[in-house]
Amino acid sequence: MIPDKKAALVTGSAKGIGRAIARRLLNEGFRVALADRDAAALRKTEAELSAPGDVLAVRMDVAREGDVRRGMAAALKRFKRLDVLVNNAGIADPASGMEVERWRAIIGVNLTGAFLCAKYAEGALRRTKGCVVNIASTRALMSEPGTPAYSASKGGLVALTHSLAISWGPDIRVNCISPGWIANDPHARLRPIDHAQHPVGRVGRPEDVAALAAYLASEEAGFVTGQNFTIDGGMTRKMIYAD
């Protein structure tokens, strides 16, 4: 028998956007499995959330199939169901260049990791008519110099989203969020110009992404699948010319 209380697994949830999503889902009444390869940060976040009965910390490197298989099994053993998978784990490398090993590492975490998590979550999500929320980036749509691996991995994640949505519907909804500039470090010093260049007048916060993820995970989004939602303060709509 499937328990009544819904459960989610959020990868890369020890810090930043992942932690904010985990916190938001917990506040929405979910039990949450925190998955991250940073064991120390994972323990810290688990303690900060202060909900031992509803939170499970799972050390997981999403690029390793064995880790994903064991982590998913641990979450299902504890919660007996899975309703939401959030693929947030990622490597953000501002200058990965053309090094093949760095390419493989970034693709391995950002894209293959999401594929592996989806693979091992599929059965449980079908049983609950659940959903997947992938966290990509506006770098799937636009680029800075020197970031081919990161941009390719996020573009691939957008494509994986609509492919899974078509392959798994109607049992499982699959959507994607592409954040722009999100200030993950609350202590980072941001300049007035950093905020002003955004049409909304500020840099994004992890909680902005978490709010959208919570909506996509809810029954209110029952008619939404295969979509990529850009959340960037309007920056991808802004034409920029040299003075």
150 is a catalytic site residue: yes
In three-state form (DSSP H/G/I as H, E/B as E, the rest C), the secondary structure along 153-219 is: HHHHHHHHHHHHHHHHCCCCEEEEEEECCECCCCCCCCCHHHHHCCCCCCCECHHHHHHHHHHHHCH
Gap between the Cα atoms of 30 and 34, Å rounded: 12
Relative orientation angle of helices 39-49 and 16-27, to the nearest 10 degrees: 30
Sheet holding 228-231: strands in order across?
55-59, 31-36, 7-11, 84-87, 131-135, 173-179, 228-231
Task: Check 120, 150, 215, 241 and give the catalytic one.
Answer: 150
Place of tokens 């982590």: 71
In one-letter notation, the amino acid at residue 63 is A
Place of tokens 């993820």: 213
Question: Which class for 65: exposed (0-12), middle (13-18), buried (19 or more C-beta within 10 A)?
Answer: middle
Place of tokens 């980036």: 137
Picking from 166, 138, 154, the residue whose alpha carbon sits closest to that of residue 229 is 138
Q: Known catalytic residues? A: 150
